[in-house]
Chains A and B, each alone.
Chain A
């Protein structure tokens, strides 16, 4: 279960900061990690390996590796999850977690490493609670020391006596669409990953109740619902604050929220979805002279919605030269280090079809058997005010003893997840 030490390293495996909790593993063991990182291709690496009875478990985060070492047969998920959470906490403290920000904030990181883990056992990783222990961020020294509140509280994720001048709650419903389309144009697999993020700025100990157009909830309450207006959520996971017993009983989502930003719930739907943005590529290779592309993109959502920042990436052979493009919308660029062309469309209206032509020269020596450019095309996009699953927030009730009225704000967005279309 327990880790011996935690390291933050750069992409070459050089230590940026580390904390050795148990002292049973020498810090020099990092050299073995560095060798491993440099010798193996990134795509071939496994996130866990053991050398000379020391086990290394690591995750990659931005341009860093977070690594924990252990001598035991540890619980993988506890170790990995701890590192993920730790990065989340650091992000909360100083925004982007990167080599630079780690250097800039080393003292806070030491403090956080000491409070989030003791002797290799993860302790508290709730950012809000941690703020009560950490001296660096607040320089609380000038004030009279007070014992951390949350320690004796029944609600461990929220302190008492929080006051906000304006009581507000922001809900973000964010859906990601994972899609895999075969070369013949058939949808092989589609999946929606949704999450509801909340930013709560509420005073006191508010009780919240969230109503969704959840099919099972309508059924549980015996209410009628119009067909197509309710969504069946397959697997729902909640933040610790949600009362699960209530949810199991009548699908009511009730909770006392932590203060600030947190992820209230996540869900997954494994349904057949029509590709929101459809891409078709006709490729005409002319042996050893040139290669031509005709790309058609079609938006298959309602015409009043708009997809923002659309980026369609089409792979091309490695040795192409003299690119030329023709398109009626957006801009096209050739990205040689990715061996791809990227077609960016700032605003792509619904129910539209657009076309782009690309032309490349090929050297006469090029290998006709090279198939590396047949990797799938991918699409990035964001559609605001729209959820692909159709989920909707019906209400958010906020009740607090002092009886203030608070405003809930709701916003929807659908983005691409792993969205790829195989090329023929």
Chain B
């Protein structure tokens, strides 16, 4: 087998020995350079002249102010030597802003160069002239620019198109008055893909205040047909724009996805991620194949995760994190790819630790827990802390695994001699017992030891909370608390002291004779302790409550806590949705929407197009009708939008927030029984539902939950073995939906039949009914 010989790298001009010397000079020589530039001998010798200018550029690179040479460089730029010209123009565009008066001198040469026979020179001159960034230049720029936009060479046209944007930044009016924006818009169709892509970029930015480019179907087809002709930058920009386009039908969506499928095979991560964004947006509207779409995206994104650059890997992971939460289950089988590697940067490790628990399911939980156990013993305390938090997430997500995880956490407390580990473990246990209170019996025996060894205030407070909340009946509890009260004066943490007070009170309500004296002692100490106002006031409040009425105090202090069902971050679905819409931008890396870190004038509207096809079709048909709708109706819509958001905050609906969907239900709809009956008999079954409920709720609860989602009850009754309901709702397209619902008491099985005036939205209605019962599922 032969060994290929790589070709020697081309000897770059100004290689090492010839260039290093440019940087060896001292500051005082700027004046010398000036003299050299004025020297007649240098003037005549092109090679020497190049050397001198190169030195000037070297000074510029070093950050030395050479702007005083501006006049001389302007003179030098009038040359036929392209190498020299490029250097001069670079100098001129760097220093033009600080030499506005002299800058006008170079306009002459540059405009002349715009007429040169060499397209390279024309392009260079146009780019440089527009880069000067001076308002005084605009009047000279305009005529050459108009010519440049029609230049036969694509290179010149491309530079001209971008020059229009530069001009626009200087003077918006001049661009519109001379119709430059229209010319550039026409150049979207330019035969050269680079020119076409640049025009897109320019038009999008010029119109940023109007929300960017308005994509119509013709343009989309044009771009899609040529997508392979563009280079990776053109492709990723076009895909970025396409994400805002809303296909007119489901068929069109599929067509677009078919065309773009090949973009997932491109080696550029920018193109792959931009394509992914479009697919993800479409997946939201194609719920029946959502999983398949995510499956298609899985391999390409995972490959990007293998990129050698850790910076790129981090960015990919942040995007995968969003995808994992949007479509749970799809990435589960690949959980091993998210294992932590020793030499990765910590932000990467932290992101993996947030993704891993989301991938847990009943089959892989054992392996995952085993792996996370490794991380708990990591050298970095932050890693071990986050690994323990990940344990908590898994236990909340998968009830079947909770037992094992609580045992594992207890094992950490007894076996790992690290305060951070113990603190975090106890803290997570505290949260888990809120969801699995019956597990407290296993935890209690470990508490006395925890109290002895844990020093961190948060951990200590968590142990004391557990003692008060679950340990009131344990034999040792009063003694443990007594010890803490005795050492009250040595305790510095307010958190611990506050937890102690509450815990002692709780135990007092269960075992008054034993704890009475203790509580009295604690209250006296605390009332005399004025080191912290909050603490003092809390003690005072407890004291007065107890004196007022012990039973009332008990009711207040030991009130039943609602079990933890989900974490706070899951409930912020509005924010998550907004982040999702800003997929493939910096927002994802920050977990913040753009408006929090980008100046207002640079914001781009990224709202997801409304993708509900049926609704769109219906909207077209009902356009005339919609026009006649009165004020009350539109006001009502706004109200509904707000209401929709509320629902999502409560975590009821797992769907895109209704305020963005055109489809919604009207409020306060009434219907008489007769109409219901005739409509019911006239329509065919359009959708059905079959849901297992976690418990059998009373009839009025079902009714009120549905009513909160604007699905109203016509009638309900008890059939003995089951409950029966008739519901109705009217949507924003004025379509009436009817449902017959039966709830089996024994099996808690709910079945529903939906009939609609227009069956297109029946499934949506059924879904929204299901969502309204979210709390019962």
Contact = CB atoms under 8 A, between A and B. Distances in A.
Which of A59, A119, A172, A248 is the most central at the interface, judged by chain B CB atoms within 10 Å of its CB? A119
A310 B605 CA distance: 54
B299 A235 contact: yes
A106 B597 CA distance: 34
A72 B19 contact: no
B347 A94 contact: no
Interface string A139-178: 1110001011001100010000000000010101000001
Given A119-B166, A375-B342, A81 B232 contact: yes
A235 to B, nearest CB: 4
Contact of A76 (B19, B417, B589): B589
A376 interface: yes
Which of B13, B133, B154 is the most central at the interface, judged by chain A CB atoms within 10 Å of its CB? B13
Contact of A110 (B4, B90, B602): B90
Interface in A191-246: 191, 193, 199, 201, 234-240, 244-245
B594 A73 contact: yes
Interface of A: 1-2, 15-17, 20, 22-23, 42-48, 50, 53, 55, 57-60, 71-78, 80-82, 84, 92-95, 100-101, 103-108, 110-111, 114, 118-119, 121-126, 133, 135-141, 145, 147-148, 151-152, 156, 168, 170, 172, 178, 180, 182-183, 188-189, 191, 193, 199, 201, 234-240, 244-245, 247-248, 260-261, 263, 265-266, 268, 270, 369, 371-372, 374-376, 385, 409-411, 418, 420, 422
Nearest to B169: A22
A199 B4 contact: yes
B760 to A, nearest CB: 34
B270 to A, nearest CB: 4
Interface string B283-301: 0000000000000000110
B44 interface: no
Contact of B57 (A58, A106, A147, A188): A106
B302 A261 contact: no
B6 A44 contact: no
B631 interface: no
Contacts of A76: 315, 584-586, 588-589
Nearest to A148: B155
B236 A75 contact: yes
Given A23-B97, A103-B20, A376-B342, 14 more contacts: A48-B315, A77-B274, A78-B270, A81-B268, A81-B312, A95-B9, A105-B14, A106-B22, A124-B194, A135-B82, A147-B120, A245-B262, A268-B299, A410-B1
Nearest to A116: B233
Given A77-B273, A108-B14, A240 B231 contact: yes
Given A156-B229, A235-B302, A151 B166 contact: no
Interface residues of B, number: 113
B600 to A, nearest CB: 10
A253 to B, nearest CB: 11
Contact of B233 (A122, A235, A265, A411): A122
Contacts of A270: 302, 334, 337
B604 A82 contact: no
Contacts of A240: 231-232, 266-267
A188 B336 CA distance: 7
Contact of A385 (B1, B312, B379): B1
Contacts of A72: 598, 602, 604
Contacts, number: 293
B240 interface: yes
Contacts of B209: none
Task: Give me the 8 closest cross-chain CB pairs, A-B, nearest first.
Answer: A170-B4, A47-B311, A73-B594, A244-B262, A235-B299, A122-B233, A145-B118, A189-B336
26 contacts: A23-B97, A44-B345, A45-B345, A46-B589, A73-B594, A73-B598, A75-B585, A80-B311, A93-B10, A94-B12, A106-B19, A107-B57, A114-B127, A136-B83, A151-B192, A168-B4, A178-B306, A182-B374, A183-B374, A235-B303, A266-B267, A268-B299, A270-B302, A371-B377, A411-B1, A420-B343
Interface of B: 1-4, 6-7, 9-10, 12-16, 19-20, 22-23, 54, 57-58, 61, 63, 81-83, 86-87, 90, 94, 97, 117-121, 127, 131, 133, 153-155, 158-159, 162, 165-166, 169, 192-194, 198, 201, 205, 228-229, 231-233, 236-237, 240, 261-262, 265-270, 272-274, 299-300, 302-303, 306, 309-312, 314-315, 334, 336-337, 339, 341-343, 345-347, 371, 374, 377, 379, 417, 582, 584-590, 594, 597-599, 602-604
Contacts of A376: 342
A1 B269 contact: no
A248 B12 CA distance: 41
A411 B86 CA distance: 43
Given A82-B233, A245-B262, A77 B315 contact: yes
